[in-house]
A and B are shown apart, each in its own frame.
Chain A
């Protein structure tokens, strides 16, 4: 078969990670909301909080299961498709993944069972603790994953050395076999981009959780069902979304500065900035690689220079200083990045406007606006996906992005042809990272398999969610437990007698 195996493997990775990444941000975001609801229940003892928490738990559990099921694929895929990468970075990158398993997955999965099945078995305080632990677990998981991914973007805390085999330096056909090894674990964990990127990722997840809850609440308000529940949920989530929409702007800004410093090619691709010099901030446009200009451009003059260097006239490094072989795909990077930023701006406008109306007390009468909120969750999902896509596309053609060579004062060094010099030994090109023992037929068939399974899973998840949303939360004043249990006991033909016997 004539398909390029690197391209196919990238396609497979993109497909599986983007599908997987529908779920973790949602569970991270909703986890925080569940912690809040249960804390409020413990504090106020108002049953509405407990009912709300029980309702969101069902949706949370279904989403969590999808995250777990699609997450195993990610861990396996480094080995199945990117074995050469795994051999090169396993010493460094593998540690972060193993830490995720030990510190995050056990915590999440253990306490998740108490969260989902523990409602009537453990006390409310312990249940709150379990919810807190699950929420923390999902955050820990994001910490280690973002650390691992940030190391690919801005590697630190390691050195590249020749491997040793049976006590001697290892050569194959006269070529030394090299790999990355840890020198300083904490430098690896706190590599230059991990903290910035983690904050940005978590805020993205919180926004997704908030918009998801606002979407369902707005739907109930439009249908005039569970209105008390929906108003409270919406208000809480709106406050959350407003604060984090604004925070995301600040975080995005400081991320862009970090990228400008460590990955100049990526920033130039994001902004379609071809020629080094004062840079405009593109609000709209289509970068044209042939003419090295941005078509249909609408731009704020000098704004990018100002954002990166606090000076409208300061030169920003352009793609002309990057060797053509090391250009990321410009159009894809530009488009994904700009759509993400655009959605972020839309969120700021929307949440501020809605908050204003909420303070005035007229928000819930604006049915058109509520309808907008029902649909806006799609943009939150999209923004999270686009953010990852732009970060990863902008890193290409590297799977491990090499650092930029600098002089003692921190100025970037250029080679004789005027191109940025990379620490070449540090980087690994994506095209060299592929497994040696697989063929394109295998990858093609696994892409089909994942495509099929994931379409099916997505349909099932939407179906179940739709069902849960349709049934809705239980009314607050209804003494639900006894009734349901009696009903279930009757249905299942079991008497309470058996249960008492078990306890003895």
Chain B
């Protein structure tokens, strides 16, 4: 396996890490309107309070790693998707600020305004991620230099939009399973348990539709799956994980249900990677303009240096992340340092 492949895998890992971790954060935001009074809303905020910031770092590091390992892809995607990225930045800024500042004063109007902001920004960010994935799978027009030659409206095609809604459903389900682990026992917790059935049901319907839609429209990805027969195992893991969510919830094993949701998200990111391979940005107009893992890459020396940095950094990152998740493992208790 060469360094370019290794970096493709590493970026996939960062993306999967981000989707699993910030996925439930964003899901909590999408489900936020379900909380009916101030105490419940604070429980929602504090369920992700100590960890959302660290989760978002996975996205920042994904961006940095893409820049360092595949600068051509970074430049093409970020400049080509100018308006979507500006909207994403807007959503992420408002989201961060709404979490941080919402409970800083007692004013009801202040809190209500930040509650809406939190919901809308979480929804927008999630939708945009899904649309981005859809566009990556379909490909976008690129010129010989690898510069995006399409338009913003051209990105809003039915398939990417559909994947946007699918991602919203997926993160909403993921968020509800997370909340099921974090909400203290009581009325809100019972309500959330009921909600899992709705979020899971919606996700399942959209999952089936997305699978059919993909198989029908994305013909160019099929050879990749034929060349990698082991990818059947990923599909199988995905289906089993999705099926295990209602089973585990029914048997009152919230941890297992949440882990199943994590597995299913990781499997979906893996399938996305296989569909994309070996391209980072597929040129829909001239396939020979596609930015694959060799054309878009930094020099071999840089890839090796970055790999050293990653090998030193990743164990450290996993250590801090475990410490933080362990410290805040219990269900939410609202106290004086809470949001």
- Across the interface, do A101 and B148 meet the contact criterion of CB distance under 8 Å? no
- Across the interface, do A117 and B68 meet the contact criterion of CB distance under 8 Å? no
Q: Which A475-504 residues have a C-beta within 8 angstroms of B? A: 481, 484-485, 488, 492-494, 498-499, 501-503
CB of A100 within 8 A of chain B?
Answer: yes
Q: Mark A446-482, 1 if CB is under 8 A from B, else 0.
A: 1001000100010010001001100000000000010
The answer to whether residues A102 and B313 also contact, given A91-B298, A436-B147 and a CB cut-off of 8 A, is yes
- Across the interface, do B321 and A110 meet the contact criterion of CB distance under 8 Å? yes
- Across the interface, do A106 and B54 meet the contact criterion of CB distance under 8 Å? yes
- Across the interface, do A97 and B145 meet the contact criterion of CB distance under 8 Å? no
With a CB–CB cut-off of 8 A, which chain A residues contact B97?
65-66, 69, 457, 460
Question: Smallest distance from the beta carbon of A156 to chain B beta carbons, Å?
Answer: 15
Contact among B67, B74, B295, B323 with A165 in the assembled complex (CB-CB below 8 Å): B295
- Across the interface, do B74 and A172 meet the contact criterion of CB distance under 8 Å? no
Looking at chain A's contact residues, the main secondary structure is helix
With a CB–CB cut-off of 8 A, which chain A residues contact B302?
91-92, 95, 181-182
Distance in angstroms between the alpha carbons of A68 and B100 in the assembled complex:
11
Contact among B61, B85, B309 with A106 in the assembled complex (CB-CB below 8 Å): B61
Q: Mark A45-70, 1 if CB is under 8 A from B, else 0.
A: 00000000000000001100110111
CB of B26 within 8 A of chain A?
Answer: no
CB of A112 within 8 A of chain B?
Answer: yes
CB of B101 within 8 A of chain A?
Answer: yes
The answer to whether residues A502 and B330 also contact, given A72-B60, A110-B324, A460-B101 and a CB cut-off of 8 A, is yes
- Across the interface, do B57 and A73 meet the contact criterion of CB distance under 8 Å? no
With a CB–CB cut-off of 8 A, which chain B residues contact A101?
57, 60-61, 63-65
With a CB–CB cut-off of 8 A, which chain A residues contact B59?
72
For B, the interface residue count at a CB cutoff of 8 angstroms equals 77
With a CB–CB cut-off of 8 A, which chain B residues contact A75?
60, 63-64, 67
User: Which B residues are closer than 8 A to A by beta carbons?
Assistant: 39, 49-51, 53-54, 56-57, 59-61, 63-65, 67-69, 71-72, 74-80, 82-83, 85-86, 89-90, 92-94, 96-97, 99-101, 104-105, 144-145, 147-149, 184-185, 294-295, 298-299, 301-302, 305-306, 309-310, 313-314, 316-317, 320-321, 323-324, 327-328, 330-331, 333-338
Contact among B79, B96, B306, B337 with A95 in the assembled complex (CB-CB below 8 Å): B306
- Across the interface, do A494 and B184 meet the contact criterion of CB distance under 8 Å? yes
With a CB–CB cut-off of 8 A, which chain B residues contact A185?
305
Distance in angstroms between the alpha carbons of A106 and B72 in the assembled complex:
25
Closest residue of chain A to B301 (Cβ to Cβ) is A182
CB of A344 within 8 A of chain B?
Answer: no
- Across the interface, do A69 and B82 meet the contact criterion of CB distance under 8 Å? no
Distance in angstroms between the alpha carbons of A442 and B61 in the assembled complex:
26
- Across the interface, do B331 and A106 meet the contact criterion of CB distance under 8 Å? no
Chain A CB within 10 Å, residue with most, of B67, B77, B295: B67
With a CB–CB cut-off of 8 A, which chain A residues contact B100?
61-62, 65
Select the stretch in A78-86, A318-326, A329-337 that faces chain B. A78-86
Chain B CB within 10 Å, residue with most, of A83, A99, A185: A83
- Across the interface, do A502 and B333 meet the contact criterion of CB distance under 8 Å? yes
Q: Which A349-367 residues have a C-beta within 8 angstroms of B? A: none
With a CB–CB cut-off of 8 A, which chain B residues contact A181?
298-299, 301-302
Question: Smallest distance from the beta carbon of B28 to chain A beta carbons, Å?
Answer: 16
Distance in angstroms between the alpha carbons of A468 and B68 in the assembled complex:
41
